[in-house]
Structure 1
Amino acid sequence: MASWRVPASLAVMALPLLLSACLFGSGGGEKRPAPIRERAKGPITLHGPTPRETQQCFTDLSRSGIRYSPIPDRDFGGGCVVLGAVQLLDIGVPVSGIKSMRCPLARAFAGWVRFAVAPAARQILGSDLVRVESFGTYACRAIVGRPESATKLSEHGLANAIDISGFVLKDGRRITILRDWQSSDPDVHRFLEAVHGSACKRFATVLSPRYNAAHRDHLHFDMGRGPFCA
Structure 2
Amino acid sequence: MQRRLLLILAALVATTALSACGGRDERDIPRVTNDSFSSSESRKCLADLKAQSVRFQVLPNQMRGGGCRTIDTIKVLDLGTETANLGPMTCPLAANFAAWARHAVRPAAKQYLGSDVVRIETFGTYSCRNVNGGRSGKLSEHAYANAVDVSAFILRDGRRISLLNNWNGQPQERAFLRRLHQSACKRFGTVLGPEYNAQHANHFHFDMAKSMKDGSAFCR
- Whether the TM-score (by the shorter chain) exceeds 0.5 is yes
Q: Residue 53 of structure 1 corresponds to which residue in structure 2?
A: 41
Question: What is the aligned counterpart of 1:43 among 26, 30, 40?
Answer: 30
Q: Residue 197 of structure 2 corresponds to which residue in structure 1?
A: 212
Counterpart residue type for residue 204 of structure 1: G
1:85 equivalent in alignment to 2:69:
no
Q: Could you list the per-position Cα deviations for residues 192-222 of structure 1 after superposition, in whole angstroms to 9, with x for gaps in the alignment?
A: 1110000000000000011111111100000
Question: What is the aligned counterpart of 2:163 among 177, 200, 210?
Answer: 177
Counterpart residue type for residue 130 of structure 1: V
Deviation beyond 3 Å, 4+ runs, structure 1? 38-41
Shift of 1:40: 4.6
**1:58-77 to 2 correspondence within 5 Å?**
58-77=46-65
Q: Relative to 1, partners in 2 of residues 1:176 and 1:39: Cα closer, same or farther, differing over 3 Å?
A: farther
Q: Relative to 1, partners in 2 of residues 1:41 and 1:117: Cα closer, same or farther, differing over 3 Å?
A: closer
**1:1-230 to 2 correspondence within 5 Å?**
39-48=26-35, 50-144=38-132, 150-183=136-169, 185-226=170-211, 227-230=217-220
Determine the C-alpha separation between the residues in 1 that align with 2:199 and 2:171.
25
Determine the C-alpha separation between the residues in 1 that align with 2:154 and 2:64.
33
User: What is the TM-score of this pair, normalised by structure 2?
Assistant: 0.83
Shift of 1:39: 4.6
Determine the C-alpha separation between the residues in 1 that align with 2:193 and 2:180.
11
Counterpart residue type for residue 228 of structure 1: F
Q: Relative to 1, partners in 2 of residues 1:77 and 1:114: Cα closer, same or farther, differing over 3 Å?
A: same
Contact kept? 1:124, 1:191, Cα under 8 Å: yes
Determine the C-alpha separation between the residues in 2 that align with 1:132 and 1:120.
13
Alpha-carbon RMSD across the aligned residues, in angstroms, is: 1.5
Determine the C-alpha separation between the residues in 2 that align with 1:111 and 1:225.
18
Shift of 1:41: 4.9
Shift of 1:150: 3.7
What secondary structure does 1:139 align onto?
coil
Contact kept? 2:28, 2:65, Cα under 8 Å: no
Contact kept? 2:27, 2:66, Cα under 8 Å: no
Counterpart residue type for residue 182 of structure 1: N
User: What is the TM-score of this pair, normalised by structure 1?
Assistant: 0.79
Give the count of matched residue pairs.
Answer: 190
Segments of structure 2 that go 5 or more residues without pairing to the other structure are 1-24, 212-216
Shift of 1:121: 0.4
Q: Residue 8 of structure 1 corresponds to which residue in structure 2?
A: none
Determine the C-alpha separation between the residues in 2 that align with 1:151 and 1:121.
38
What secondary structure does 1:144 align onto?
helix
Contact kept? 2:150, 2:205, Cα under 8 Å: yes
Q: Residue 15 of structure 2 corresponds to which residue in structure 1?
A: none
Contact kept? 1:39, 1:76, Cα under 8 Å: no
Identical aligned pairs, as a percentage?
46
Shift of 1:98: 0.9
Determine the C-alpha separation between the residues in 2 that align with 1:222 and 1:158.
10
Q: Which of the two has higher C-alpha Rg?
A: 1
